[in-house]
Structure 1
Amino acid sequence: MTIVAIVVVLAGAIFFAGYQLMKKADTFVLGEGCTITVPAGTLDLDLEQSQVAATIAAVAARRKLPKQALEIAYITAIQESKMTNISFGDRDSVGIFQQRPSQGWGTVKQIMDPVYSTRRFFAALEKVDGYLDMSLHDAAQAVQRSADGGAYADHRRSAEILATAFRGDQPRAVHCWYPPKESPPPPQDAAAKKEFNRARGASREDWLKATWFVTHAPVYGLRQVVHDGYVWSASAGQDGWQPVKEG
């Protein structure tokens, strides 16, 4: 039995719908998570990390920043918070970049909003003279002024993989899986589009958009994302993107 409350068509032929109620339990024996696969390698993330990664990429795209800027943001978020939106840290640091209210980054509530904190990070990065000529870790350190700036360098390979995938450079690079809810909420298609647009604005990067919706599917009760002849389904578990069946 399938419950589909609504189907929404987006620019670039991306669409999504509500949860499928009856699913095969064995599809989800491995719990939940996301896999990112690009030519440079593969990473496994949890759902929150993937959602944060997608949001950072969307904000970077909105600001028309180069891939290098996105990689700088990723090595910073990985080092500072393991790319999770934590409400604690050294002294008064909070959020994905461990920004401090006492240092003028914003209120705790503002910094705990990943869109806001990412905007503030990139605004600070763009003020660093010649940051594109620096190493990734030196640029990150120029923004963060961390006690151990060299630690950022450990995450360069992960940042390259994430940037390639979440910018949409590599089609079908990200897929996620999670157990179905017994009583799923109604699909919140309008809320999902509103939140994406808050991060990205009007978008033509269709694989970036498709990836954002995949990572946020459990938040907004989305069942499918379809783009460019491929479909990601919440009910498919770890099968990932599959060709759309004709007929």
Structure 2
Amino acid sequence: MRGRSRGRSFGACSRTSTARLSRRSRFLRFAALRASVVGRAWLALERNLHVVRLVEAALSRRRLRVDAARVVRRTVLGIYATVLAKEWEDAWALTRALVWRLQQDVDGGAFAAIAIPPKEVVSPDAWRMLRALSTDGGIGSLDVERPGVVSGELFREARVRYLDLAPALRSHFAATGRSGYFGWDVHLDEEGHEVVAQALCPFVEAVLDERAATRARVGAATGARPTR
């Protein structure tokens, strides 16, 4: 029995090492591809994708609905209103219900929430541009901090670990003058991903450490062997 157990352990370790080497080799191949002429050309295309989108927009012949401007203002700016419209109250209520349901569905896992803010929360210039949409009124006063505050309250009530990435991205903006988002797009650029990764690492480690400690306590109380 002992020999078979050692054999199984050795086999498991061997498979784990092989899997790690395989992942490492795939990453090295990917890095080599990025460094190639084709890879550099593709990265250049990604960084200038707004040119492609501008051409597509110029060639597009889609008709906008007559109330498009009002709909955009209501849907884009409504979440920042200090007095929420009923549709946004319903949206937050649904979000709260989904969080509680997800928390119940997690069985022995680590449940945590992370909020990646939109560009206007990080960059004052982007916020001013967005605010310009509300010049005709109808929405009321706006607060750029409101979505983050409401999200934090929601997850604290549900006792869910929560990380708001706005402070990290704002610190990056204050230090560099760059928001971490593409200028023509709502997505994070390369710098933004680096900022997010640095902020996520200790948060994820803390969540996993807490899960391991909880399982160890449960195992000690029940006499069961803790699992990872």
Pairwise TM-score range, normalised by the shorter structure: under 0.3
Q: Specify which structure has the higher proportion of strand.
A: 1
Q: Specify which structure has the higher proportion of helix.
A: 2
**Bigger Cα Rg:** 2
| TM-score (ref. length: structure 1) | 0.22
| TM-score (ref. length: structure 2) | 0.23
